[in-house]
Amino acid sequence: MAVEKLFKDEATEEKGERARMASFVGAMAIADLVKTTLGPKGMDKILQSTGRGHSVTVTNDGATILKSLHIDNPAAKVLVDISKVQDDEVGDGTTSVVVLAGELLREAEKLVATKIHPMTIISGYRMAAECARNALLEKVVDNKEDAEKFNSDLMKIAMTTLSSKILSQDKEHFAKLAVDAVMRLKGSTNLEAIQIIKKPGGSLKDSFLDEGFILDKKIGVGQPKRIENAKILVANTAMDTDKVKIYGARVRVDSMSKVAEIEGAEKEKMREKVQKIIAHGINCFVNRQLIYNFPEELFADAGVLAIEHADFDGIERLALVTGGEIASTFDNPESVKLGHCKLIEEIMIGEDKLIHFSGVEMGQACTIVLRGASFHVLDEAERSLHDALCVLSQTVNDSRVLLGGGWPEMVMAKAVDELARKTPGKKSHAIDAFSKALLAIPTTIADNAGLDSAELIAKLRAEHHKEGSTAGIDVISGFVGDMAELGISESFKVKQAVLLSATEAAEMILRVDEIVTCAPRKREDRM
C-alpha cells in the first residue's frame, strides 16, 4: 500500500531530475550574476539595502556582492559559501571561484542529460582537478631566495590584484603601499597590525602609508601636544563618577551643605583614582569610556595626556601595537603591562586632527590612510586594498608565483585535455568537460572587455601548444599578449584555492537528487 502523505502540509520535496535541475539553475544564475565583475574590465554592482537609511554599496568584489544577497536556492548558497571562504582564506579570487564552479555545473548538466551518472562525472572531475594542480605545480616560479626579484614579484601580484578593482588607475601607487605594509609584517599573516583609516577629501592618489599607529581622536584641552618616550596605559574604566552609580538610588538630605559634602566625597574618590593611575609612572592615558572635566584637569596638571572615547577597535589595536594590556583596575601597578612608543604627536589629515603614535613596540605596525571623494569610494578602496594585502601576506609565506591573464587556466586546460585522451571509458567525457569549464575564465575576461572571446581563446590555444608559452589575454590592447613581459602575475596559493574549492562545491551540488523543504514553524496559540 502506497503511503499517501509523508510530510506535513506545507513541506515540499523535489525529486530526481527536478531537484538536480533546481540546483543547477540556481548555481548557474549566481555564477552569471558575478561573471561581469571578473577581470580588469569588469563592471561594478550597486547593492542597495531595504533597511533603515537605504545604505548603498558600490562594489566589484565577488564575496561582498554574494554576502549581501538573500538567496532561497540551496545550491546557490553553497556557492556563496565558497566565495566567503575564499575571501577569508586568501582574499582574492572570490569571483573566479564562483564562475568556475558554475561552469563545471553547466558542463555537468550536459553530461547528465546524455545519461552519464553523476558519480562518474565526479570521479572524472577529481582526476582532472588533480591533473590541473600538478600542471600548475610544474610551472610555478619561486624567487624567495632573491630578495629583489621576490619584491618585484610581489609588486606584480599586487598590481594584478588591484587592476580589476576601483584602484586600477593608481595601481602602482597602491601596490607599493600594500607591498611596503606587508613586508613590515616579516612573514606573519596577521593583518591586524595594518590599520586602515578612511578620510574623505582629496583624491585616491593622496593616500599614504605611515609607520606607527594613528588614533582618530583629538588631544584634550590644556594637555601636552607632544610627548617623547611615552609610557601608555590603555584602560577600559569609568572616569565619570560624579553621579551616584546605583540604579534607582535616592539620597535624602536636609540641607544644601550635605549635598556639597556628597559631591566633595565623590570628587575625593575620583582624585584618588586619578592618583592611582598616575602612580603607574605614565605620561599618556587612553580610555575607552569618557573622561569628565575634573579628572581631565587633574591629568593635565600632572602633565599626562588623557585620550577619551577611543573606540574598541582602536583600543584593542593600540594595546597590541604598543605592547601593553588593557587594564580596568589600578590597585597594583606592578601587574599592569604598559605600552611604549617613542613619540606621540598631533597631526592634521585634511581638516581633521588625529593622534600619531610613532616608534611603537611592535615594529611591523603601520597605518594606511586612504583619501577619496566620498565614503562609497573609500569603502570600495578599502575592500580592494584588503584583498591585495591578504594575497601578499599569503604569498610572502608561500612564495610560489604564476603568470596571470588566463595563462594558468590555459596551462591547466591543456594538461587536462591530454589526460582525457588517455583515459578510457565514460570518465573521459567528464575530464573533457572540466577542461572546457577551465576555459570559461579567460573567455569571461575577454567578454567583459568587449573582445571577441571565441577568436582570442582559439589563438591562445594555438599559442599554448608551443612548449613553454607565456601567452595570455592582454585586455588593454585586445590581443594575445606575453604575460611575462606585461608583468601580470598571480599567487599560486590563490589559483590552487580557486581550483580545489570550485571542484569540491560542484561535486557537492552534483550529488544532490532530492531537495526537501521544511514546513514553516507555526506559532502555537498561547490561549
The set of catalytic residues is 61, 94-95, 387
Q: Is residue 390 within 8 Å of 86, Cβ to Cβ?
A: no
Supply φ then ψ for residue 288, to 5 degrees. -80, -35
How far is it, in rounded angstroms, from Cα 21 to Cα 36?
A: 24
DSSP, collapsed to helix, strand or coil, labels residue 402 as: strand
**Complete DSSP assignment for 236-254:** ---B--SS--STT-----S
How far is it, in rounded angstroms, from Cα 500 to Cα 159?
A: 24
Residues in Cβ contact with 522 at an 8 Å cutoff, skipping those fewer than 6 apart: none
C-alpha grid cell for residue 515? 531537495
Fill in the DSSP letter of residue 333: G
How far is it, in rounded angstroms, from Cα 260 to Cα 7?
A: 73
How far is it, in rounded angstroms, from Cα 220 to Cα 286?
A: 11
Supply φ then ψ for residue 263, to 5 degrees. -60, -40
C-alpha grid cell for residue 181? 605594509
Q: Is residue 133 within 8 Å of 499, Cβ to Cβ?
A: yes
Fill in the DSSP letter of residue 359: E
C-alpha dist (Å) from residue 495 to 107, 132, 248, 442: 21, 11, 61, 13
Residues β-bridged to residue 366: 194, 211
Place of cell 577568436: 455
C-alpha grid cell for residue 466? 608551443
